[in-house]
Chains A and B, each alone.
Chain A
Amino acid sequence: MNAPLGHKFWPLPGGIHPPENKQQSLREPIRQAPLPNQLIIPLTQPGYAKPDLCVQVGAKVLKGQVIARGTPQSGITCHASTSGTITAIAEHAVPNASTLPEPCAILEPDGRDEWQKLPAIADYTTADADTLLRRINEAGINGLGGAGFPTHTKVRGALGKVDTLIINACECEPFITADDALMQEEAGAIVTGIKILLQLCKAATCLIGIEDNKPAAIAAMQAAIDDARIRLVVIPTKYPSGAEKQLIYILTGKEIPSGSLPMHSGILCHNVGTARAITRAVLHGEALVSRVVTVTGAALGRPGNLETLIGTPVATLLHACDVDAAKLSRLINGGPLMGLHLPHADLPVLKITNCIIATTLQELPPPAPQQACIRCGYCAEVCPVSLLPQQLYWFARSKELDKAEKHNLMDCIECGACAYVCPSHIPLVQYYRAAKAEIRDERDKHRMAEHSKARYDFHQARKQEEKALEEQRRAERAALAKQKREQAGGSGTADPSDPQAAIAAALARVQAKKAARQAQSEAAATPPAADKEPDA
């Protein structure tokens, strides 16, 4: 059955058409990346909580065995990507913006690549949502498209709220072809994953958004789609059509309100790689231990798409693609427009690593020196969220954060289209990132201040309460003492020759008076509750 093509779409405002540079890595089918001497398996994804460690240093592990279990809130379960020995649990550099090391397990492969699989769920159509979600969690699946949000959390949160499932097959950034290659070779597994997701979220329709520069993938997907709920929508190639909110608009004409999530608009969005990982986890009981990584760039003799074990050092991939170290000018993790600059190649492939670019000075020249903004407005023309980048730049530079916020800086998706076209070579996105971080800092500070104030007020109130309670106790004690004294006095007056008793009696009298005064003033300060009632 062929999916109907030519579905309606809403054109993306703005956007750019950078050179695609995708053919280089599509010359060969997906090949297996070599087994490295050492795998560096991060115990957490950047930005997520540290999961609970399940193995000791020196432990022998099998492929797919849990190394660290994700916390129920947000952590992601990590598995051994191959069989071997855990030689260390230590901090290691990973590809992240902060350049801070993250806790990692170092795994020395034994070369046998021996699996420890989860039991297969052969007929997913009869499995309930909880079973499937638990499996997705156990298999350590997170979004393979970019942000790496844990898939089970995302799906669970959307249960019962979704009418449209969107599968992102755009891969709009230049150079990257991992999803393209995957669709060409494993369209069936992707479609099965989509059907599992459809069964989970109970969406009525699934729209697969794919750019028209992938004819082979379009044909493969079209042939594999065997479900009337799933429709393939071919959209014009334009960057950044594959950004989540942009793709939702292109496919549905809906805008996700600022600060809200797609699921609140009845939409759940997943990447094709995630769909394939779900199929593997459910049907074959395989944890997410590998992914397709595009390894490309002019510094490589044999670029391509490599099925890569999570934790494989970037250096291993470069070597497998015949890197020419003399030509290599820089390494980029991800695409050339939103990717992360890598300082060196001793960094592991993460679950979210879709591309490694080993480029040369000719291919991606270093940035030209920054000139003054001439307000040409090219940036505003290409901004896919209709911001005024050049105005935001002035606000960011002059630290007018309130104005930047008012001009919706926080809605910037950092796609880099503005900086790409800027004739003055202003690193606009860099300015926005800094300004956004400052705004978030300010918000945190404000929140902290509010929190401290609330705590202080609470503390004051409690102190007052304690004081009142103490006074009350004292009054009670005094009354008791007086009573005792009066009882004692009834049998005869206090012995005047006993000075201790005289002092005690005097103190008791004073305290009794004080307590009486206190009680009186309190009674005056708080009018009887009944007085308030009639007005209500």
Chain B
Amino acid sequence: MSNTALPSSPHEHQGVATSQVMQQVMLATVPGLAALVLFFGWGTLLNLLWLCALALAMEAAVLKLRNREVWFYLSDCTALVTAVLLALALPPTAPWWLGLIGIFFAIVVAKQLYGGMGYNPFNPAMVGYVVLLISFPLQMTRWLLPDGVGESLPTLADSLQLFLDRAPDAGIDAFTGATTLDSFRQDRAGQTLAEFASASPLMGRFGGTGWEWINLGFLFGGAYLLYKKIIGWHIPAGMLGALALWALLFYSGGSSQSGGTPLFHLFAGATMLGAFFIATDPVTAPTTVRGRLYYGALIGSLVYVIRTWGNYPDAVAFAVLLGNFAAPLIDATTQPRTYGHKP
């Protein structure tokens, strides 16, 4: 008989490992990623590859410094997920150094300096994103016009130029423009929703042009994760429900005072990416079932508040980080009732 016997029950395991969970999460980002590439060109994909390589290298370096077994921890794939999520959040025009700084703060500072996988109180990808947003507002808000709105999409060569921080041949201004959410805040000037929708090419059928498809892509990926039971429904339902509810409360009949339709808020910006891929990061979320519902609702509410009355057009990163702050408190106040105990 071998000596590998487990001394304590259970002796059986479902056979699902953390690395498999992470691989499924990455797989589920594919539809959203494809929509991003379709509407905004190759930039996101270039960033994604670049950030994955950097994340692995930085994670390995820090693990080595911390005297940890490098391959054992690298193979859990959590660094790759952080890289993918940050890449999906960055504008497709991001130059190489922007991603470098962002992933450094995500992997080295927010994750490894706090003790590595499982110990970080804040979502690493969102820490990286917020550091960049505060430090480099110009580069971070330099989005492209979606396919069909701008004159043309950047080619792979253009995207490479942008990535290398050089102006593409046609000049950078040929591609860049505000995102739908940005434009919704800046350019409305007292118009009703209907007036703005007919005037702005950035307004799509129900969300933002392009963005509605990107959000649908992430919604589809999220549904896959739900089906595979990789994530629970509580955080996405809480977040999307709260966001829609706030939008409904301040819809005000689509008048010039309207904050936008609930559907617009659900299918614009990073809503679906946030709801299914970012807010659902288990390490930084509460662990109780009820707590996750409240946590999702808190993030959804903050997204609406910051989008409508804050200084930033999109708000998922700030909302998630603020939610992370609240997670321990939510956990402490939402303990489930144990069998045989009074409520």
On whether the beta carbons of B340 and A377 are closer than 8 Å, the reply is no
Q: CB-defined interface of B71-92 with A at 8 Å, one 1/0 digit per residue?
A: 0100010100000000000000
Are B338 and A374 in contact, CB atoms less than 8 angstroms apart? Answer: no
B interface majority secondary structure: loop
| Known contacts A374-B282, A411-B341; A381 and B11 CB within 8 A of each other | no
Q: How far is the CA of A332 from the CA of B9 in the complex (A)?
A: 9
B134 within 8 A of A: no
| In the assembled complex, B7 has its CB within 8 A of some CB on chain A | yes
Question: Whole-angstrom distance from the CB of B63 to the nearest CB of chain A?
Answer: 12
A407 close to B (CB within 8 Å): yes
A-B contact count (CB 8 A): 156
B340 touching A341, Cβ below 8 Å = no
Over the window 317-343 of chain B, the binary record of Cβ atoms lying under 8 Å from chain A Cβ atoms (1 yes, 0 no) is 000000000000001000111111100
> Contacting chain A: which of B14-22, B52-60, B149-157, B246-254?
B14-22
Complex CA–CA separation, A102 to B138 (angstroms): 77
A329 touches B232 (CB 8 A): no
Interface status of B33 (Cβ within 8 A of chain A) = no
Q: A109: CB under 8 A from chain B? A: no
Report the Cα distance A260→B20, complex, angstroms. 42
Q: How far is the CB of B342 from chain A (nearest CB, A)?
A: 8
Interface residues of A in 304-343 (CB under 8 A from B): 328-332, 334, 336-341
In this assembly, does A505 line the interface, its C-beta being within 8 Å of a C-beta of chain B? no
How many chain A residues have a CB neighbour from B under 8 Å?
65
Contacts of B9 in A (CB 8 A): 334, 336-341, 414, 416, 429
Residues of chain B within 8 A (CB-CB) of A371 are 17-18, 76, 117-118
Kindly provide the distance from the CB of A359 to the nearest chain B CB, expressed in whole angstroms. Answer: 8
Partner of B340, one of A174, A256, A344, A423: A256
Query: Which chain B residues lie closer than 8 Å to A328 at the CB level?
Result: 1
Using a CB-CB cutoff of 8 Å, which residues 383-427 of chain A contact chain B? Answer: 384-388, 390-391, 407-408, 411, 414, 416, 419-425, 427
Let me know if A380 is at the binding interface, CB within 8 A.
yes
**Contacts A366-B6, A374-B117, A390-B287; A411 near B21 (Cβ below 8 A):** no
A368 beta carbon closer than 8 Å to chain B: yes
Chain B contacts of A331 at CB under 8 A? 1
Per DSSP, chain A at the interface is loop
A408–B17 touching, CB < 8 Å = no
Q: What residues of chain B lie closer than 8 Å to A388, measured between beta carbons?
A: 287-288, 335-336
Q: Check B288 against A369 for contact (C-beta < 8 Å).
A: no
Measured between alpha carbons, how far is A387 from B341 in the docked complex, in Å? 11
Per-position 1/0 for A159-203, Cβ under 8 A of B? 000000000000000100000000000000000000000000000
In the assembled complex, B119 has its CB within 8 A of some CB on chain A: yes
| Closest B residue by C-beta to A418 | B10
**B16-56 at interface with A (beta carbon < 8 Å):** 16-18, 20-21
Q: How far is the CB of B248 from chain A (nearest CB, A)?
A: 30
| Shortest Cβ distance from residue B321 to the other chain A in the assembled complex, whole angstroms | 17
Instruction: Evaluate contact between A386 and B118: CB separation under 8 angstroms.
Output: no
Q: Measured between alpha carbons, how far is A387 from B339 in the docked complex, in Å?
A: 8
Known interface pairs A377-B287, A386-B339; A433-B8 also in contact (CB < 8 Å)? yes
For residue A364, CB closer than 8 A to chain B, the reply is yes
* A411-B287 contact in complex given A366-B4, A391-B331, C-beta closer than 8 Å: no
**Interface status of B146 (Cβ within 8 A of chain A):** no
Residues in B whose Cβ lies below 8 Å from that of A32: none
Contact A366 B2 (CB under 8 A): yes
Indicate if A373 sits at the interface (CB-CB under 8 A): yes
Q: Give which listed residue, A255, A365, A385, A416, contacts B10 with CB less than 8 A.
A: A416
Q: Complex Cα distance A386/B336, Å?
A: 6
A329 touching B339, Cβ below 8 Å:
no
Residues from chain A with Cβ under 8 Å of B10 in the complex: 336-338, 416, 419-420, 429
CA distance A377 to B335 in the complex (A): 13
| A 226-280 contacts with B by CB, 8 A | 245-246, 249, 255-260
Q: Are the CB atoms of B2 and A372 closer together than 8 Å?
A: no
Does A440 reach chain B (CB closer than 8 Å)? no
Q: How far is the CA of A375 from the CA of B331 in the complex (A)?
A: 12
Inter-subunit contact A330/B232 (CB<8 Å)? no
Residues in A with CB closer than 8 Å to B338 are 258, 385-387, 408, 411
List 19 contacting pairs A-B, 8 Å CB cutoff, sorted by A. A18-B12, A174-B12, A249-B339, A332-B11, A338-B9, A341-B5, A364-B11, A366-B5, A372-B118, A373-B118, A374-B283, A375-B118, A411-B339, A411-B341, A420-B14, A421-B16, A425-B13, A429-B9, A430-B7
Q: Which residues of A contact B (CB under 8 A)?
A: 16, 18, 174, 245-246, 249, 255-260, 328-332, 334, 336-341, 344, 359, 361, 364-369, 371-377, 380-381, 384-388, 390-391, 407-408, 411, 414, 416, 419-425, 427, 429-430, 433
Known: A329-B5, A375-B287. 4 other contacts (CB 8 A): A260-B340, A329-B2, A368-B17, A429-B10
Return the 6 tightest CB-CB contacts between A and B, nearest first. A416-B10, A372-B118, A366-B4, A258-B340, A336-B12, A385-B339
